[in-house]
Amino acid sequence: MRVVFFGTPDFAVPSLEALLGEGFDVLAVVTQADKPKGRSRSRLVPPPVKVAAVAEDIPVLQPARPTEPAFVEQVRSLAPDVGVVVAYGHILKPELLAIPKHGMVNVHASLLPELRGAAPVEWAITNGLEKTGVTIMLMDAGMDTGPILHQLPHYIDPEVTGGELSEHLAEMGAQALVEALALLEQDGLKPRPQDPGRATYAPKLTRDAARLHWDRPAAELARVIRGLDPRPGAWTELGGREVKLFRAHVVEGGGGAPGEIRTTDGRLQIATGQGAVDVEEVQPAGKARMSVADWARGRGVRTGQRFT
């Protein structure tokens, strides 16, 4: 089966590697432009999928937008049997979706129709879901609305972080993808439509969504901190300066106004609207991520101060 692969971040790499490992003919990899990095922004860093493709001598296409007529014709000229899309980052128009013989297949990190959108892993944790998974679907013009080909469920560990769950679901997605494509090639899959009445959403994470509100219960705040670890990081302010928090656990018992630091003895214990959270790691603005003990020694954070 001849494949054109669309993807950008780390999450997409296992799927590309699985296709190659199973002998699929990957004609080209389509990804986003290299990103400028560094203080002068003069160093261009390629997307992870591009790095993986170059290592396998696969042609790489990086259109500014996948709607460009020249790019659409380039894909058409490849005559792919199927397109595979894994966290590409651009919406594909019907003209492009119609090119492959078997359509465009998307790997999505939730059990659709739950958690349609850009950040299903993070919202699965912050919403307190017990189960998520991966879905292989045929793409249509909507946002994650296409018919389902294959799904694999996964129960969420109560202490897992967004990064850890994303890594696990990336491997599951790769497995589900090769299973689905093998069946699709043999006409062994019957797409089933999604039930729009069961749809929930996982929109792109905004800065406001990542801010911690200390009047909320400790269990909710701990989920936000875990769900947004490592990126974008749940944040708060101490003395008017931003601090990101990581590795949070719920601590029973009251005492202290919401946001008040109860102890800095090895860990950071913070009062909330109900109970407290115990935080192991922090990242002050402009600094690297560090242990609470290192931060407390260097900054002099003390009991009685309040996060806002």
Name all domains of the chain by residue range, CATH numbers in brackets. 2-198 (3.40.50.170), 218-299 (3.10.25.10)
Coil/strand/helix, residue 9: coil
Residue with tokens 């601090």: 243
β-strand pairing of 104-108 with 82-86: parallel
d(CA 11, CA 55): 17
CA distance 289 to 291: 7
Query: Average model confidence (pLDDT) for the chain?
Result: 94
Phi and psi of 199, rounded to 5°? -70, 135
Distance CA 234, CA 225 (A): 5
pLDDT attached to residue 74: 97
User: Which residues on adjacent β-strands are paired with residue 30?
Assistant: 6, 61
Q: Which residues have C-beta within 8 Å of that of residue 51, sequence separation ≥ 6?
A: none
The pLDDT assigned to 40 comes to 76
Tell me how far apart the alpha carbons of residues 250 and 197 are, in angstroms, rounded to a whole number: 34
Residue 61, burial from CB neighbour count under 10 angstroms (0-12, 13-18, 19+) = middle
Instruction: With H, G, I as helix, E, B as strand and everything else as coil, classify residue 123.
Output: helix
**Which residue carries 């009251």 as its tokens?**
254
Phi-psi region of 134 (alpha: psi -120 to 50; beta: other; left: phi over 0): beta
For 257-299, what is each residue's pLDDT tens digit?
999 998 877 779 999 999 999 999 999 999 999 999 999 888 7
pLDDT at 254: 65
What are the pLDDT digits (tens) for 57-68? 999 999 999 999
pLDDT for 112-147, tens place per residue? 999 999 999 999 999 999 999 999 999 999 999 999
Is 223's pLDDT higher than 80? yes
- For the chain, give the percent of residues with pLDDT over 70: 99
Per-residue pLDDT at 253 exceeds 80: no
* C-alpha span between 114 and 108 (Å, rounded): 11
